[in-house]
Structure 1
Amino acid sequence: MTTQNPAAILWDMDGTIVDTEPYWMEAEVALVREYGGEWGIDDAKQLIGQGLWHSARLLRSKGVAMDEAAIIDELTDRVMAKIAERVPWRPGARELLSEAREAGLPMALVTMSFRRMADQVVEAIGFEVFDAIVTGDSVDHAKPHPQPYLLGAESIGVDAADSVAIEDSEPGLRSAVAAGATAIGVLAHAPIPESEVYTLWPTLEGRVLADLAELHGIRRAA
């Protein structure tokens, strides 16, 4: 068996650590309809993994008469209010985070949510986790551009190519792969096509660091 411990783990947040995608979709649907537009869950699923500025521009085109920054603030407020009521953890995520932390493995959060929401989720985890946090309001280019993952790796002093990235969306995986990371897609609300350039897992439940090391070793040896 080929194994190679990654230098770090780079984590997406929405849909990967916390199952907040339904909160985002509900907020988008409600906001568009409040302005008399039509927007359904299937429409909202197309935004999973995209940057918030992209989402805001699209919602404006559907009739939301607010500027883009105001749309992002409104959506974020609504999602954070739902998180305050209940944090929807994804199976296996906190367990893997805890194991990696105990092993001393560097980790960065790479999310297209804005910093105030990332801080809310990180605080809810309940133990110190991330050595760096990259958010949608700290990058010039959102996923699927590689900049978020390149910045995440740089922020903790590692090469993205020596790291494992965990995602739940195709745009996020494209970002991670373009940055050179060993990319894992954990299936959630958006379909992800099979590909030779990343690995799909149905869940993180039961997954341990040894699984990441084995996959990373295989990818690096290929």
Structure 2
Amino acid sequence: MSAPGTALRGVLFDMDGTLTDTERLWTISLEETAAHYGGTISTATREAMVGQDMWTTIDLLHAELGVTADPADTARMLTEATTAIFRRGLPWKPGARELLTAVRAAGLRTALVTATHRPLVEIALCTLGVENFDVTVAGDEVVCNKPDPEPYRRAMQLLDLTPAECLAIEDSPSGSRSAATAGLLVLVVPSEMPVPPAENLVFADTLVGLDVDDLRRILAEGRPAEQFDSV
């Protein structure tokens, strides 16, 4: 966890469920893919998919439906369905655009760290603004995706920052574990499913009303889980 008094220099943002309200869009494309195989996805399985990479999601989908299809074929089908949906524009999570704008205006370094693969990230950046991020790390650009810490470690390496200088913002258990294991303090705003309290996690109900001074205070004080209550 960051030492008290550490100055904030970088903010590392998750995408799906954190900046963008895209988990429900993924649900649509997953349901379309499941329907192709003649089945449906249970609520429990869909929740298990939140924050996971493409291949883990496909494994869960195949297991749920009892199919033995080539994962690459399912990935292609799922990506095509999601691409069509993403091209219509992505809805922001409440408060996310305002916070991202404030972080950039304050001169802080930013990274987008997502389990989503690069082709879909490029479409998402049409909404998020490529200029809003100094670096982006996509799920197909690392050897081990979330919940492994590699994506966040890679982002910090590209930013030339240490964990003590950064704050991660996440929404899922998988992403929160990835960031925390990379040594980051993590502001968690749960979206589709609850995130259990753990070391290096600080919780808020929403990004609405959150500003850069709040982020600086969270990092400087390094408070444990469930103690951030200013929003």
TM-score relative to the length of structure 2: 0.88
String of CA shifts for 1:57-115, please: whole Å, max 9, x gaps. Answer: 22233345542233223222222222222421101111111111112111111000011
* Cα distance in structure 2, aligned partners of 1:186 and 1:171: 13
Residues 108, 99 of structure 1: CA spacing in aligned structure 2 closer, same or farther, 3 A cutoff? same
2:12–2:113 contact (8 Å) kept in structure 1: yes
* Alignment match, 1:115: 118
One-letter identity of the residue aligned with 1:25: T
* Cα distance in structure 2, aligned partners of 1:123 and 1:38: 31
* Alignment match, 1:103: 106
2:112–2:135 contact (8 Å) kept in structure 1: yes
* Cα distance in structure 2, aligned partners of 1:126 and 1:179: 26
CA RMSD in angstroms, aligned pairs only:
2.0
* Cα distance in structure 2, aligned partners of 1:29 and 1:40: 10
Superposed, 1:1-222 pairs within 5 Å as: 4-61=6-63, 62-126=65-129, 128-219=131-222
2:113–2:155 contact (8 Å) kept in structure 1: yes
1:27–1:75 contact (8 Å) kept in structure 2: yes
TM-score relative to the length of structure 1: 0.91
Tell me how far 1:135 sits from its aligned partner: 0.7
1:25–1:41 contact (8 Å) kept in structure 2: no
One-letter identity of the residue aligned with 2:126: E
- Secondary structure at 2:12 match in 1: strand
Moved more, 6-15 or 187-196: 187-196
* Cα distance in structure 1, aligned partners of 2:6 and 2:102: 17
Please, which runs of 5 or more residues in structure 1 have no aligned partner?
none
* Cα distance in structure 2, aligned partners of 1:104 and 1:15: 24
* Cα distance in structure 1, aligned partners of 2:72 and 2:164: 34
